[in-house]
Structure formats: C-alpha cells, structure tokens
Amino acid sequence: MKTDIQESYLRPEADVPVGQPSEIGNALPPSPRSRLLEPFRDSIFGIGLLLLLISVSVFFLYDLLSDPRQKVENNAILIMLHYGIALTFSLILWTNGFLKNQGIRDGSGRPTRWLGLLIWLISAYALNREMAVFQQSTEWLCWALVIVGTAMVLYAWKDGLSIRVQQLLYAVLAFGWWLFAYMALYIVGLYPVSFPLMIGLGLSAHTFVPLAFAISLGKVLWQDSRQEEHLRLGVYAGLMIPILAVGIFLSGWIGDVTRIEQTRQEASLRKTSDLPDWVLIAQQLKLGWITNRLLLSNRVYDLGRFLGGMDWDLGGLTALDDVRQHDPLVVMASNLFPADVLPDADQLSLIKTVLAERHSTVEKFWTGRHLTTEDVVSQVRIWPQFRLSYTEQTIRIRNQARGRTEEALLTFHLPAGSVVSSMSLWVNGKEESARLTTVAKADTAYRTVVGVESRVAARDPSVVFWQEGNRVTVRVFPCQAGADRRVKVGITSPLRFENSTLVYQNPTLEGPTSSSADELISIDFTSAPTALETPWLLEKSTGSTITHRGRYDPSWTLRFDAPPLSAEPFVLDGRSYQLEAYQPTLESFTPTDVFLDVNAEWSRFEFEMAVEAAKQRQLPAWVFADGLQRINTQNLDALYDQLTRQSFSLFPVYRIANPATALLITKGSPSSPILSDLKGSQFAESFDRLSEQTASIRTFCLSPELSPYLKTLAELRVLTVANGTSDDLTKLLTTTRQFPKQPDRQDRIVLADAQVAIRERQAQDVKASLAPDHLARLFTYNHLLQQIGRHYFSPNYQTDALIQEAQHAHVVSPLSSLVVLETVADYDRFGIKKDTSGLGNATLKEEGAVPEPHEWALLVMVLGLLGWLYWRKRYAFN
C-alpha cells in the first residue's frame, strides 16, 4: 500500500489545477545555507555564541601567558572577566524573557539558554584554578567535557541533521547527563554553604552549575525521547555505555584489590619469607590502565569525598598548587571498594616496580610542580681513538610558580658504563664547581640546608647521587619564583662498538617538563671522524665540529668508523691507564647444577628446551618456587604454570650452594625491583652470604637484556653473563661446554660495549699524559663496582680505601657524591674537604689532570725564576 507521500509524488501534473501553486514546490526542503543560519534568526543566540567563543579563547590563552610572574594578577582579572561575561549574558536572557517559566516549560529558546550554561561552566572552571573544588581533570574528562559542550551547541541545528546524526547527538547528551549528575552529587555537601553566600558578588552560584546542567539535560532527554521515537536508541546508548564502562572499570579494580588481599594472605603460608609482601603482590599484578589508577590512587589521583564526609568550607578549599588529578572512575571505585589494603611504603614500592615510576617517586623536600626546563646546552668532546666521550649538559630551569620556592629534581639516564665526573651550580650569577665527598656527608649537608635551614633562609645547595641502572639523581635548590636556575653535569662515557663503527649515545633526562625547551648542541672530535652519520636534527659544521640549535630532543646518536686504538697512556701518581683491545675468551665449563629463573617472559618451548638440555647431560634442573624445587616429569607442567604467572622473578642467587659450578638460565623482564628497593628485607640481608663466595655465577640470558635486578648484579660482578637463544644454550650444555671467561682482573677493567679494556700498571718512566684523564675515571668507577660486588648489602662495604679511590678519580659512585654548597664555611661545618692530590672536576677547558712530579719541578723552577727576577728588579739596583 502506497503512503500519502508516495502518492503525492506519483500524481501526474495534469491533476494540478492550472494557475494554482504546486504543492510539490512548496514542499521543497530548505537549502543547506538556510539551515545553517536558522538559529541565528534569534539575535540573542548569536550574541551568546560570540560570548562563548570569547570565554573559551580567554580560558585556553591563560596557559599561554608568557610572563609567569604576572599570572597571579592575570588569573584574578580573568576570573572576573569570565564571571562578568556569565552575569552579562544571564541578564540578557532575563530581560528578553528566556528565563520565564513558560519558555522553560515548553522548551522555547533552549539552545540559547544552553549557551548561557556553557559560559557559566567555563567561569566555574576558571574560578576552580584558585579554589579547587574539583582537582585537575584527567585528560579523558577534559575531552568528555569538550565533546558534551560541543554537542550542546550543535543542538541548535538538530532539526537539520540526519536521523543517525541526531541519535549520535543524543547519545553524547545522555553521556553528558551522567557526567553532570556525578559532578552535582560530588559537591552536594557545598550546597548548604554556597546558597547563603550567593548574597553579594554571588561567586558561590558556580556551585550549582553542574546541577543546572543535569536538570536541563535530563528534561530534554526525557521529553524528546517520548515525542520522537527514533531518538530513543541514541538516548539508551548514551545512558547504558557509561554504565557498562563503569562496570568494566569496577570489575578490574575489584580484581586487583582481591588479588592484593589474597597474595598478602598467602604470603603467611610461604615456607620462605625472604621477599617482602609487596614484591609478591607486584609479581601478580599486570600493568594496565586500571591497575595504573589503583596504584596511583591518593597520590596522583584524588580519592574525593563522593557521597559523604563533606566538610567543605571556604578556608579549607585546596589551593590548586597542591591538587591532584580528578578521575570520576577512581573516585567512585575507591569509595565503593577502598584500596586501603596496602601500607603507604608498600604502595610506593609497587609504583616504582610495576609502573617503573622511579623519578617521580624520589623523596623531595619541596614541590617542583611548577618548574620547566627552558633550555639545554650540550657540549660534547669525542676521542675516537680512545673510544670514549665527555658530555657537559647545562640545564636552565625556570620556576613558573606564584610566589613560592621550589626544588628541582633531575634524573639522568646514562649510556652503559658511564660515570658522572663533574657538576657545577650557578650561585649569585657565578659558576661554582662541586666537591666530591661521601654519600653520607653529601646527604646530611643537603638535608640540613634544604630540609631544616631553608625554613629560615633559602640557601644554595646542589647534589648528585648514584643510582642503580645507569642513573644519577641531581637535586637543585632553591628555584625562586619567576627566576632561572642553571646546573651543569659532566658525564664520561665509553663509545659503543658495533660492526667496525663507533656509536655515541646522548644521555637522556627526566625532570621538569621540557616540552618547549630549546637545545644547543656542540660536538667536537679530537680527530676527524670518517663515514660520519648524523641524525636529521644535526648539521655538519666546519672542521671536526658539529653544531645544532633547535627543540630539545635527547634521542639522537652519532655513528662513525672506528679508528685504530691509541696506545697513549694517561699517567696519574705514577700509575698509567692504557687502552687495549678486548675480545671475549672462552673457558671450559661443565656445570653441576642448572637453575631456571622463570617468569612470564618464558615461552613453553624455551622452558622445555632448557629442561631437556639439562636432562641430556644428566644435570639436575632447579627452579625457585617457595624454595628450591627440582624439576621432574611429574611437576614440570605445574611449575611452569605457576612461575609464568609472575610478571618478573627475583632469583635468590645466594641460595646457590656451589656458584663456581652452577649455571643460571634467565630471561629479562621489562620491570623488576632493584637492589635498593629491597634494603631492610630478609632478602637483602641474605645477600651477606655472597660475601663468603669468590666466584661469579655464570648466567645465560635468553633475551638481549637482563631484568633490572640481574643487571645490577652483573654490574657488581656477581654474575658473568652470556646472551643467546635456546639453540645456543643447548650447544653450550651438550656440545661446546664452554662459557665466556670473567674478563675483569684487579689490574684490568673491561668495557664490553666498547670492546676495550683499560689496564692499570706502574708507570715505567714518568712522562706527560697525552691521553685524556677519563681513562682513569672510567677505570676507577668500574673498579669500584668490582670491589663492592657482592658486599653491596654489607653494612661495612664502604671502606676508607674505596672512598679514597673514588675521591682520587673524582667520580660519582655508590660510595661518593658531588655537592655544591654556598660558602666555604658550609663545606667546613659539614667536614667536606677539597681533595687536591687527585683529579678534580672534569672539564672541556682542561683535561682535569694533576701535574706529575716532573711537572711540579718545572713549576717550581718557573716560580723560582720569576721570584729572582722580581727580587733583582726591586733590590739589586737600589
């Protein structure tokens, strides 16, 4: 059966009376242009849209203000500007009848009124910068507010949209209703306070903005879905999808909380209690979006006071300087299912391990939230013939805070084998070089000046601490509001050797945001490189120098052909330090026991291949699963399933009874605790057993990289590591029976990545040092790690001899730190003396070497000659 519309189009034109207007012509749809301009027939709508665009632009331009010292005044002005726009447009709506009861009931003028609501919302968030009723919104929440606001503006063109677009529009509006209903409930405790305070300027009226949105959106969704059936699909989708998303989030949250509780309970049943509970929990947690928020709750993400406990007052509103992020999902989950099963210290350890957030979890005495990295100057000198480099990075930090002093924290990630050999801080406009001292003295001095004395007067300290995993931490204080601070760090690094080429890797930096930082790079080669490959951001300059100026980007490397090694030594105090080529040597090795360090990175094939290879040699294969267990046919499947549920493993190497004849097989995991995370635990105390052992444990890694835990043990020479595949492992156990020999000796340190060794020996004939002093620095640093070794957890491993060795070469190590204090008196009161007998701060201007005996004699002769000439001129002719 044809509809009336179909029949009208099929009706012949002859049926239309002559001289009468055609109904077909009258039924033509309006043009796209007329549809676009339809809402602007209401002049108030055009005014509101213009004011909304002005308010939005001003709101976002606030963060782009160039002078941070004027931000306080500017923000106060902008708050009143936003508030004035909101009041002005509300007055326009009132005088033009848009706020009359009849218009509100029948929906006339709704698009124009919604513009007024959006203007009030922007004004509320501008005020929120000063009085943080809501903490800083997470990224997804910001985008959600923008999308919902855009949909409310587009509602004015609803009738000109297709059915599908209308459904999408109403789905967004339905989602927005949930969002504003949540916000209205979140601040319900403020209503009794805000209502009477509306007398006067009426700033507290912003409190009721979310409630007004929820009521207005709810009414539209209810009325329109009843009148227009095709809109119901969009409304239902917009209402149900957020419920489903919240359900998924709560399910993951509850799963993680349950897993944490169960692991803590099961820990009491373990036969071995070496590992702390938080490590066992970290092994079971999988990194993900929900787990991230659970671990960071009440640190990065605010828990809020949702549905109860509202004790707001104007004096108690949190200043934005101290706010966290506001995520509605975290607020709801943490209030419905509190994640309070972890002590604060354990939660911090989980964040470090599971989320690999080490820089942001370092203890700080003062906040550094408003610091930015303005520019980085990188000066590099490369000695291709010595396969080493020295990099000085000068960082300028600016405090964008409003009238408050802050502390800068920088973490440098260094190339393998690198060591910090200098540091400077600009004090009162003058560069002051650091002094090397023990870690304990440097820490005491910094804590005293920054943590105690700075409450009275801000002083100028800076300090560098060694960290595991090729990292150092630099602290700088004070960073005054609206002012700059400059600090310089010097890094000595070996060059990586790859297929007859050398690779220079730039250190990377974590610290104050560097998103808009500039960088100046200057690279000087002591001998012209051949086949030089530079990244796109670098340009060749004249001679052997490369320069670049641009945006800061630390992820660059240089590559060039490796020249022959130089045999020139560096001589210091009668000892010479000389390079020699290094190639790994193999030695016969037949293990008596095989230990499998199994985690989630292992495949079933790798596990079975390792067990089978040991079985062919009739070697016992062991795993650690609440004690050492020998693998057999009956327990193989169960052990594999149990151990591969662990995201990482911490094999207790101190439980290996015969390390000289043991083989440890592992596979690296991206994250794991490091040794310093475990200090104070039974696991750490058990490492004292290693001090009785002299042989390193041969370790075969089925991946290119070790886990952070095993990497530190390798740096400390507790492990001798070889890398390869399952086939290589099978050949090692069944055919070749050879393993790389421990390369280090008392007088020789191997830099494996550079494929060189540095040998220390007695200088046969004293002569001037032609090689860079960095040879002595690299030797000393690696020699210190070798000597510390398995004594790392021993309370008395910091011997005077090792400390003196670190001071003599002037390198940052587990024993030593660099510190800058404001005055000589400050150094004296903390017992930090300047060592004049060894090397000083490395520098690009000089090599840092101290004069040798013949050089001292030459200096004495020159001074004597000058003295004689002065005496002769003044007295001889009188």
Q: Same structural domain for residues 162 and 56? A: yes
Q: Is residue 656 part of a domain?
A: yes
In a domain, 661, yes or no: yes
Residue 44 belongs to some domain of the structure: yes
What one-character DSSP code corresponds to residue 718? Answer: S
Asked if the structure places residue 734 within a domain, the reply is yes
Is 270 found in the same domain as 204?
no
SS3 content of the chain, % helix, strand, coil (to 5): 45, 20, 35
737 in the same domain as 703: yes
CATH number at residue 605: 3.40.50
Q: Label each residue of 648-699 as H, E or C.
A: CCCCCHHHCCCHHHEEEEECCCCCCCCHHHHCCCHHHHHHHHHHHCCCCEEE
Together in a domain, 657 and 726: yes
146 in a structural domain: yes
Taking alpha carbons only, the member of 412, 487, 387 closest to residue 774 is 387
Residue 715 belongs to some domain of the structure? yes
Does residue 713 share a domain with residue 611?
yes
At a CB cut-off of 8 Å and minimum separation 6, what does 382 contact? 388, 389, 495, 504, 523, 524, 525, 526, 529, 558
Instruction: Supply the pTM of this predicted model.
Output: 0.81
Pick the last residue of a domain from 231, 260, 285: 231
If asked whether residues 105 and 199 sit together in one domain, one would say: yes
270 with 220, same domain: the answer is no
pLDDT of amino acid 150: 95
d(CA 154, CA 168): 11
- Out of 681, 708, 742, a domain closes at 742
Check whether residue 192 and residue 282 sit in a common domain.
Answer: no
**Final residue belonging to a domain, choices 742, 762, 791:** 742
SS3 817: strand
The closest of 337, 415, 282 to 753, measured between CA atoms, is 415
How far apart are alpha carbons 320 and 134 in whole angstroms?
9
> What's the CA angle centered on 554, arms 479 and 439, to 5 degrees?
50
- Host domain of residue 694: 586-742
Helix (H) or strand (E) holding 396: strand 388-399
729 found inside a domain:
yes
Same domain membership, residue 224 and residue 175:
yes
Q: pLDDT value at position 696?
A: 86
Mean pLDDT by 10 residues, the chain (878 residues): 37 39 48 75 90 91 56 68 91 87 69 93 89 87 95 92 93 96 90 76 84 94 92 94 96 92 84 85 89 88 65 39 78 88 84 86 83 94 95 94 85 94 92 93 91 74 92 93 92 94 94 89 91 72 78 91 92 89 88 94 94 92 92 93 93 90 93 88 82 82 92 88 92 88 83 91 72 94 87 77 90 94 90 85 66 44 51 51
Q: What total number of domains does the chain contain?
A: 3
Give the separation between CA 768 and CA 855, rounded to whole angstroms: 8
211 and 261 housed in the same domain: no
Amino acid at position 727, single letter: D
Give the model's pLDDT for residue 451: 78
Q: Are residues 206 and 259 in the same domain?
A: no
Rounded-to-integer distance, Cα 211 and Cα 316, Å: 22
Residue 461 lies in a domain: no
Cα dihedral sign for 525, 528, 533, 535?
positive
**Whether residue 226 sits in one domain with residue 289:** no
pLDDT at res. 775: 94
